[in-house]
Chain A
């Protein structure tokens, strides 16, 4: 099985604080996705990177988040000012680029953010 590593597993922040979480994609995977999952429900797409370049992101990410992949082996997702509604599990996934539509997404175990 492919291995996507996410750190930290748990993150507790006060409202207004900054948060940062990291993801190490599977080696050789050039596509990286971030998803937000609240209360073990649906996966909400946040942002997509291809070869470290952000190619698609939702408005919320543009406005309040910071996401980069400074190398092929490290990506990070940050929240500039945490709000209560940001409490969620943040999942990073990676995939091979070639024939992307049919490629499996490999997920990390996630970073669970709690905003108090």
Chain B
């Protein structure tokens, strides 16, 4: 079945440094990838999404590029802020109009002053 792997459970960084959160996936369908962010005691919300191969998608300073050749959709930011501390989920949806969304295990990003 479909799966999403996020290798880091916790990433700790100092404010101003760059970050990359890893996401790889497995599917036999045409993939639609998402990044959701969940701040403490808040609902998860969409950060960005893509189904276009090799095209960079950006939102709120974060960016990701879907690479179908390597089945990856890593999330990056050039300079993290304290407010970026949150739980980040990578998610996969079948690109065939299906309803299933598979979530990764999540990566907690902690940014210190």
Contact = CB atoms under 8 A, between A and B. Distances in A.
Interface in A30-53: 31, 33, 35, 40-43, 45, 48, 50
B96 interface: yes
A31 B99 CA distance: 9
Interface residues of A, number: 27
B41 to A, nearest CB: 8
Given A1-B45, A42-B106, A91-B44, A105 B32 contact: no
A88 interface: no
Central interface residue in B42, B45, B99, by most chain A CB within 10 Å:
B99
Nearest to B30: A101
A102 interface: yes
B46 interface: yes
Contact of B43 (A41, A48, A110): A110
Central interface residue in A43, A106, A110, by most chain B CB within 10 Å:
A43
Contacts of A91: 43-44
Contacts of B105: 41-42
A91 B44 CA distance: 9
Given A4-B43, A41-B106, A43-B89, A100 B49 contact: no
B86 to A, nearest CB: 10
Interface residues of B, number: 28
B51 A102 contact: yes
A4 B44 CA distance: 11
B43 A109 contact: yes
Given A101-B95, A102-B93, A43 B49 contact: no
Contacts of B32: 101-102
Contacts of A18: none
A100 B60 CA distance: 24
Given A43-B44, A101-B96, 5 more contacts: A1-B45, A40-B38, A102-B51, A106-B45, A110-B43
Interface of A: 1, 4, 31, 33, 35, 40-43, 45, 48, 50, 55-56, 91, 93, 99-102, 104-110
